[in-house]
Structure 1
Amino acid sequence: MSKIYVLDTNVLLQDPYSIFSFEDNEVVIPAVVLEEVDSKKRYMDEIGRNARHVSRLIDGLRASGKLHEKIPLDNGGTIRIELNHRSFHELQDIFVEKTNDNRILAVAKNLHLEEETKEKGKRVILVSKDALVRVKADAIGLEAEDFLNDRVVEMDSLYTGFLEVYIPLDMLSRFYEKGELFLSDISKLPFYPNQFLIMKDVMGSSASAIGIVDKTKVKVKKMTFNQEHVWGIHPRNVQQTMAIELLLRKDIPLVTLIGKAGTGKTLLALAAGLMQTEDFHEYKKLLVARPIVPVGKDLGFLPGEKQEKLRPWMQPIFDNLEYLFNTKKPGELDAILAGMGSIEVEALTYIRGRSLPKQFIIIDEAQNLTKHEVKTIITRVGEDSKIVLMGDPEQIDHPYLDAYNNGLTYVVEKFKNEVVSGHVKLMKGERSGLARLAADLL
């Protein structure tokens, strides 16, 4: 039996195409949702863009009929704007204030009560990204669901970029002698291009080796990185060694790094970028950018010119650069960067419309990007450029994103089978013992 899905505003603002995601069921959009969408359409950010897109999609449906009646959709379902069922009578003793959330709940509750009186009444389900709205719905006897159609991966199944396999000792010896093995001899598991294999002795000895799957997915080969350090930074664990391999490979223009705070993502990327830009001159410029999303309460407007305004947002980048350049005096880093001229620290706000050829591009905190924003960024990448996206999907400050639908996770999953990309999940914190313990416990 078909169902009635009542959509909350945040579902439409997260994914404008969500109205087409409910198969042959009935989609109901309360009139108050249109009011909320209208209030957001003047925003110049991703929420504003989605609000305008939703408005255009719904406006386009008018050609198929009247919006307050059922309009058929191509997937076999219907959609309508709910103008009735707005009475607050059923909820006035429970929720005193007529907030927009409560008005949406009232529409869903009244529809539910109406369907209960019918012989073959439909199930009414409220769909919301807001956990408290779902809790309220449950409290008043309504079915409520999160909108999960925008999730890229299921729980705990995000691609890590490496695989641990156990093989006979003679195969390990052959790998060290020849520098390669056929994947068909190792395992029947599916492999991805540029995926790392941690090969261990099946009998339990300490013998082991690390290899990387070639682009044809036929062989696993030795890694090409053979230097002791990168711009003074030594890899401290196996995942950092893998990350450096990807960061230094010219044939892998897209690298994604995921890890908790303190795993070395930013430091490794900056070190690799500086070495290839300043020492090897493989790139004309090192561009470092991050989205401006505040943690906690926003400080509001900041005084000064553009660079002065950006400094507080970009301070984590400057902290890592101070460590790499071993600066000790105030203002010393600024003098170094001004003298070099090949390092640019920028906010992602200014990247739209640019073309970035022959540059080493680092995008920090990429987990705070939406799918549309990350597409905008990667499509800016010009010829002979390399882009590194990194972040921690567990630390998201964007109101409509989570660990499974953010832009960084989206890129990891969409590109894992492409020869131009490589990915590593950094597992071990190396900032300090305290930082590592805090990342695990808190």
Structure 2
Amino acid sequence: MTKSATKIYILDTNILLHEPFAFLNFEEHDVFIPMTVLEELDAIKDRKKDVSRDARIAIRALEDALVDATPEQIAEGVDMSQYTADHGSTGKLAIYPDHLLNQKNLTLPGPENDNRIINAALHLQREKKPREVVLVTKDINMRLKAKGAGMNKVEDYRTDQLISDIKYLSTGYVEIDGSFWDKVTNCESKTEGRDAVHSVERSLFTQPVFINQYIFDSSHSFAGKVVAHDESKVELADIGYERLMGREAWGISPKNIHQAMALDALLDTSIDLVLLTGPAGSGKTLLALAAALEMIVEKGIYEKIIVTRNTPEIAESIGFLPGTEEEKMAPWLGAINDSLDFLHKHDECRDSSMKYIMEKANIQFKSVNFMRGRSIQNSIVILDECQNMTSSQLKTIITRAGEGTKLICCGNLAQIDSNYLSPLTSGLTYIVERFKDFEGSATIHIAGVMRSKLASFAEKNL
């Protein structure tokens, strides 16, 4: 491409905090980092929060990219194709000295960092004509301010967004109208032990097909799971609708087909990662805990349950709470205690039963902040409320899973508390899309609220 055909992207600080190597994802286009962004990264890097780690990584990445460049080259732009990291960037990286801009000619007054970055973008937009200059920020208010100040192109960072709309997120199943067998014209069946596997035409499905995706029909005559697929054929393990609905774990039976599919995936030891999405009250945590207790206490497949979740920012450092790590985490894991209480509500001595199960199943409460560097073996890890985690945080947890470990991630994308995440940029959305065709994982979106009529009405109408 000619020089005038390439664009100039100006990155806000939150882009580098969201993805420290983001400057390498703009292909043939040039990337400018205002000096104000470096100052903000420097101020953030020493904070005692997860975001400080991302700031330090971003600073080190920029230093590695510019380490051999002269001040003149850094101002003009250093060719990224020579950077040793594995990426496809062929543009240039420059540090823009926005602090040297003439204060009299600035569009937005004031010392605010957002205004300084917008002013730098506006100056480059005038200076670099006819090249297109784009300000990239995840701050919605900053995007509005920039547009109001005269910035022609302002964008969100979408490189890590694998889908354009949350409605396209994989649910983990396909429902076929009517009878499944009425739509099948060509089928080859074979028996593997007690199970039957059917090979049907790929054209039978209008949606994409993935490994471990569940298939069922509205007439309740068929339920199966994809075990293999190619461009022409799809192989389905025949589970049976009634057999699927008859699954049970720790006294819990599914109330609808979605819970039945979730329970089947949870109890399948060949599946190492189960991703459960759905509204509040759909039974995600309860099913995960019931399945975990069944496989540990009754079947002896795993050795312990580790329960963790992403704590709110105010509790990122849990040291201010009294007691051990598990006692510190207890306030944030009330959903697990509620589920345990529900599972043993009919016991004569509920408190004694819960205490016994806590010891028998070796249930441990852990903080996400202390999971780095660990290797977890022969365990079931339940990660609750993971819609509030970034993709890098979830990667940290998933890569801790050792041999014989099953990871269960539960989350509701409609209840994101993080200031920096949306349903499209949540780590839960990211891993659902990344793992949707991995033979060792299954995704189930549990539709319907089973908690109460009140909760169901509130979910639909509020």
Settle same-fold status: TM greater than 0.5. yes
Secondary structure, aligned partner of 1:363: strand
* 1:195 lines up with 2:202 in the alignment: no
* Amino acid paired to 1:382: G
- Alignment pair present for 1:182 and 2:182: no
Alpha carbons of structure 1 residues 171 and 112: separation in structure 2 relative to 1, 3 Å: closer
- Give the SS at the match of 1:403: coil
**Structure 1 position 73 matched with structure 2 position 91:** no
Once structures 1 and 2 are overlaid, which stretch shifts more, 149-158 or 222-231? 222-231
Q: Counterpart of 1:430?
A: 450
Matched, 1:62 2:67: yes
Instruction: State the partner residue of 2:409.
Output: 389
**Cα distance change of structure 1 residues 249 and 91 upon mapping to structure 2, 3 Å threshold:** same
Question: Does residue 322 in structure 1 map to residue 327 in structure 2?
Answer: no
Counterpart residue number, 2:424: 404
Identity %: 34
SS at match of 2:51: helix
Hey, what's the Cα distance between the residues in 2 that align with 1:10 and 1:86? 22
What is the CA deviation profile of residues 62-112 of structure 1, one whole-angstrom value per residue up to 9, with x for unaligned ones?
3144322321221331121111453443457x55x3211111111112222
Q: Which runs of 5+ in 1 are unaligned?
A: 201-205
User: Alpha carbons of 1:280 and 1:330: their partners in 2 closer, same or farther (altered >3 Å)?
Assistant: closer
Aligned to 1:252: 271
Aligned to 1:131: 140
Q: CA RMSD in A?
A: 2.9
* Alignment correspondent of 2:30: 26
Measured in 1, the distance between the counterparts of 2:183 and 2:76 equals: 72
Most deviating of 81-90 and 305-314: 81-90
Q: What SS class does the counterpart of residue 21 from structure 2 fall into?
A: helix
Show the counterpart of 2:436: 416
Query: 1:94-135 deviations in whole A, cap 9, x for unaligned?
Result: 55x3211111111112222334xxxx5322221100000000
Q: Quick one: distance in 1 between partners of 2:303 and 2:97?
A: 58
| Superposed displacement of residue 225, structure 1 | 4.8
The residue that corresponds to 1:146 in the other structure is 156
Query: Post-superposition shift, 1:335?
Result: 3.2
User: 2:86: which partner in 1?
Assistant: none
Residue 103 of structure 1 is matched in structure 2 by 116
Which string of whole-angstrom CA distances, capped at 9 and with x for unpartnered residues, describes residues 361-394 of structure 1?
1111122222222222112112222111111123
Structure 1 contact 88–103 (Cα < 8 Å) conserved? no
Shift of 1:185: 7.2
The match for 1:220 is: 236
- State the partner residue of 1:40: 44
Say whether 1:89 aligns with 2:100: no
**1:157 aligned onto 2:168:** yes
2:392 is matched with 372
CA distance in 1 between partners of 2:37 and 2:310 (Å):
28
| Aligned residue type for 1:20 | L
| Unaligned residue ranges in structure 2 (runs of 5+) | 82-88
Q: Match of 1:14?
A: 18
CA distance in 1, matches of 2:412, 2:435: 18
Alpha-carbon distance in structure 1 between the residues aligned to 2:80 and 2:197: 54
106-115 or 185-194: which moved more? 185-194
8 A contact 2:318–2:328 mirrored in 1 = no
> Structure 1: how far apart are the matches of 2:350 and 2:293?
21
In the TM superposition, what is the alpha-carbon distance from 1:23 to its structure 2 partner? 2.3
Deviation digits for residues 243-275 of structure 1 (CA, Å, limit 9, x no counterpart): 001001111111111111111100000001011
SS in 1 for 2:428: helix
1:332-370 per-residue CA deviation (whole Å, 9 max, x = no partner) reads: 576335543622222222222222211121111122222
Name the aligned partner's letter for residue 52 of structure 1. Answer: R
Are 1:225 and 1:248, in contact at CA under 8 Å, matched by a contact in 2?
no
* Counterpart-to-counterpart distance in 2, 1:420 and 1:299: 33
| Cα deviation, residue 32, structure 1 | 0.7
The separation in 1 between residues aligned to 2:68 and 2:351, in whole angstroms, is 62
Note if 1:4 corresponds to 2:8: yes
Greater CA drift, 150-159 or 210-219: 210-219
Letter in 2 for 1:221: A
SS of aligned partner of 2:216 = strand
Give, in angstroms, the shift of residue 141 of structure 1: 1.1
Indicate if the aligned counterparts of 2:184 and 2:200 stay in contact, CA closer than 8 A.
no
SS in 2 for 1:194: coil
Closer/same/farther in 2, CA of residues 294 and 337 from structure 1, 3 Å limit: farther
One-letter code aligned to 2:12? D
Query: For 1:170 and 1:291, how far apart are their aligned partners in 2?
Result: 45
How far residue 222 of structure 1 moved from its aligned partner, in angstroms, is 2.4
CA contact (8 A) 1:37 1:51 kept: yes
CA distance in 2, matches of 1:184, 1:109: 56
CA distance in 1, matches of 2:353, 2:103: 61
Aligned length: 429
8 Å Cα contact 1:215/1:419 also seen in 2: no
Q: Which moved more, 1:391-400 or 1:422-431?
A: 391-400
Q: For the residues of structure 1 that align with 2:336 and 2:102, how far apart are their CA atoms?
A: 53
Runs of at least 4 residues off by over 4 Å? 177-180, 224-228, 294-300, 327-334
For 1:290, the aligned partner's letter is: R
375-384 or 125-134: bigger deviation: 375-384
Deviations 1:302-331 (A, max 9, x none): 334433322211112111111112279896
Moved more, 409-418 or 135-144: 409-418
Distance change >3 Å, CA 297–CA 271, structure 1 → 2: closer
The Cα offsets for residues 15-69 of structure 1, whole Å up to 9 and x where unpaired, read as 1121122222221111110000111222454422221111112112231443223
Structure 2 residue aligned with 1:203 = none
- Given that residues 193 and 418 in structure 1 are in contact (C-alpha distance below 8 angstroms), is that contact kept between their aligned partners in structure 2? yes
Q: Do the aligned partners of residues 127 and 139 (structure 1) sit closer, same or farther apart at CA in structure 2, a change above 3 Å counting? A: same
